[in-house]
Amino acid sequence: MSVPESIATSTADLFDADPSGVAVCALPFIDYGGRARFRGPCSTLVASDDPSAIAQAVSEPGEGRVLVIDGLAVADCACLGDMLGRRAVDNGWAGVVVAGLVRDSAALAALPLGVRALGTTARRPFGRDGGAARDVSVNLGGVTFEPGLTVVADEDAVIALRRSETDRCRP
C-alpha cells in the first residue's frame, strides 16, 4: 500500500491507513526536542551507564536516522543531554527516542532535533561499563524496534512501520 506524502508524518493517519503495518509504542514519551515531528530509519542502542556508547553512536553520520535507545537499565541517570544532542544535530540525526531520561531539557528544546524521553534528571552517566549493544532488536512498549525499520514520531505517538517504506509502496 502506498502512503500519500500528505500524511507521511502523522502517526494517526499512518495507523488508520494500515493498522497491521504500524506498531504503536505504549511508553509515555515526552517531547523534549526542537522538532515535534520526525521520522527516519531506525538505529538502536541498548544503553549502559557508559556514556561513550551513546557518544559514539551520535558521532556517526546520522543520515536522517532515528536513534532508539533502551536506557531502562540506567534509570538513575540521563542517556542524553545538550552536548550529545548537539553532536547528533551536527552529524545529521533526525531524532533520538530514549526509553529513559535526558537532561539539559531547555537546551535540547532549542536544537533542531526530535527528542522523546520518559523524563528528566540532573544526573549524568558516571561511566561504569555496563556492556552497551548496538543495532540489535529492542523491545520497548510492546514494539520491536529493528535497525532499518522506519520510526515516526509526532505529537501523538512514536511508531515503527512494520515493513520498510519501500515495501509499503509496492503494489
Q: Read off the CATH number of the domain in which 104 is found.
A: 3.50.30.40
Nearest C-alpha neighbor of 33 from the set 123, 105, 120: 105
Is-contact 32 104, C-beta < 8 A?
Answer: no
Is-contact 113 93, C-beta < 8 A?
Answer: yes
pTM: 0.89
- Number of structural domains found in the chain: 1
Nearest C-alpha neighbor of 51 from the set 78, 20, 30: 78
Task: Determine the structural domain holding residue 26 and report its residue range.
Answer: 5-168
- What's residue 97's pLDDT? 98
Confidence of residue 124 (pLDDT cuts 50, 70, 90): confident
Cα–Cα dist 33/106, whole Å: 9
State pLDDT tens for residues 63-90: 999 999 998 877 788 999 999 999 999 9
- Which amino acid appears at position 100 of this protein? G
Cα–Cα dist 29/98, whole Å: 8
At residue 29, φ and ψ (nearest 5 deg) are: -65, 145
- What's residue 99's pLDDT? 95
